[in-house]
Amino acid sequence: MVETGTKSPRERYRTQVRAEIKERAWEQIATAGASALSLNAIAKQMGMSGPALYRYFAARDELITELIRDAYRSLADTFRAASESGPDHVALAHALRGWALDDPHRYFLIYGTPVPGYHAPDDITAIASEIMTTLLDACTALASGSPATPFETHLEGHRQWADGHPAPPAALRRALTFWTRMHGVLSLELAGHFTGMGFDPALLFAAELDDLPAH
């Protein structure tokens, strides 16, 4: 095959059909959850027979993996956009919350109940570490130097996950805490555990954001 520089019509068609399949898949996930995702139903919606979809995705799991990849990609882009005007963990927090509320199922595809035996491919973990780097940048901006707590001392000696990032221990700790606390509020809120309780989840989120380790 000669190098055309632009995509062939066939490839254009193929990527377009793949995109439409993913769109329908997101719709289905939103109404019935990821576990109820049916390739047959998607095919019918698109006016073609069930097995036809297997030309585009080798298996149901491959489609879901692709959706997970897109979700990570989308979060990484959101973080990057929020960091455009400088490293700022408050901006990241609000971006994260907006992104999560925008499509809860997308959030749960990343941070929800894990499927036993499923392992994300390497390119997805690469996107995850891209997200972590953005977060570390923001947390480094405000953090001071030497470790002040036992856990920060522990982190100083266990920082493989920072992947060479020069963040001081306090920043490492701040990034981890940002992650777990924001996730703690968001995940319970999105799962509906706060509904009917009366208080405003947004205020709890803000309070937690305000209470992050200051150092």
Partner DNA sequence: TTCTTTCGTTATAAGTTGTAACGCAATGGA
Partner DNA sequence: TCCATTGCGTTACAACTTATAACGAAAGAA
Which residue's CB is nearer to DNA, number 12 or number 193? 12
- The backbone region for 197, taken as left when phi is positive above 0, alpha when psi lies in -120 to 50, beta otherwise, is alpha
Nearest to 28 by CA among 17, 16, 18, 42: 42
Q: Which of 117, 122, 164, 166 binds a copy of itself (CB under 8 A)?
A: 117
Is 90 a binding residue for a copy of itself by CB under 8 A? The answer is no
3-class SS shares of the chain: helix, strand, coil, % to 5: 70, 0, 30
Stretch that binds a copy of itself, among 10-18, 32-40, 47-55, 135-143 (CB under 8 A): 32-40
- How many whole angstroms separate alpha carbon 131 and alpha carbon 82? 12
By the rule CB under 8 A, 160 interacts with a copy of itself: yes
Specify the residue, 47 or 192, whose C-beta has the smaller distance to a copy of itself.
Answer: 192
Nearest alpha carbon to residue 93 among 211, 209, 215, 214: 209
CA separation (Å) from 59 to 49, 51, 54, 64, 126?
15, 10, 7, 9, 23
Min dist CB 55 to a copy of itself, Å, is 26
Q: Is 16 a binder of DNA (CB under 7 A)?
A: no
154 and 171 in contact (C-beta within 8 Å)? no
Considering only 47, 114, 117, 166, the residue that binds DNA (CB under 7 A) is: 47
**Among DNA, a copy of itself, none, residue 13 binds (CB under 5-8 Å by kind):** DNA
> Which is closer to DNA, CB of 1 or CB of 203?
1
d(CA 74, CA 82): 12
| CB of residue 109 to DNA, shortest distance in Å | 16
What is the contact surface with DNA in residues (CB under 7 A)? 1-2, 8-10, 13-14, 17, 37-41, 43, 47-52, 54-56, 58-61
What is the contact surface with a copy of itself in residues (CB under 8 A)? 30-35, 108, 111-117, 149-151, 154-155, 158-161, 173, 176-177, 179-185, 187-188, 191-193, 196-200, 203-204, 206-208, 211, 213
